Amino acid sequence: MDNSQLTVPYPKIEISYINQLTKPQQAPTSSIPGIQVCKSCAGAVLHAQHLTFLEFHTSKIHHLQSVLFTLKRDSLATDERLNALEEEVRLLWAASRKYNFDLHVLEYKGQDAEDRLKTVASQAQKMADIVTEQWIQIQRLGQAPPPVA
Average pLDDT on 67-76 reads 91
Within 10 angstroms of residue 8's Cβ, the number of other Cβ atoms is 13
Handedness of CA 36, 41, 47, 49 (dihedral sign): negative
> pLDDT tens-digit profile of 75-129?
999 999 999 999 999 999 999 999 999 999 999 999 999 999 999 999 999 999 9
- Write down the pLDDT at residue 11: 46
CA distance 6 to 15: 23
CA distances (Å), origin 22, targets 11, 14, 16, 87, 143: 29, 22, 16, 68, 150
| DSSP conformation class of 33 | T
Collapsing DSSP states into helix, strand and coil, what is residue 25? coil
> pLDDT tens-digit profile of 12-68?
444 444 444 444 444 455 555 555 555 567 777 888 888 889 999 999 999 999 999
CA distance 128 to 136: 12
Which pTM value belongs to this model? 0.44
- Write down the pLDDT at residue 142: 80
Extents of the domains making up the chain: 15-109
Strands (E), 62-111: none
Structural contact between residues 43 and 22, judged by C-beta atoms closer than 8 angstroms: yes
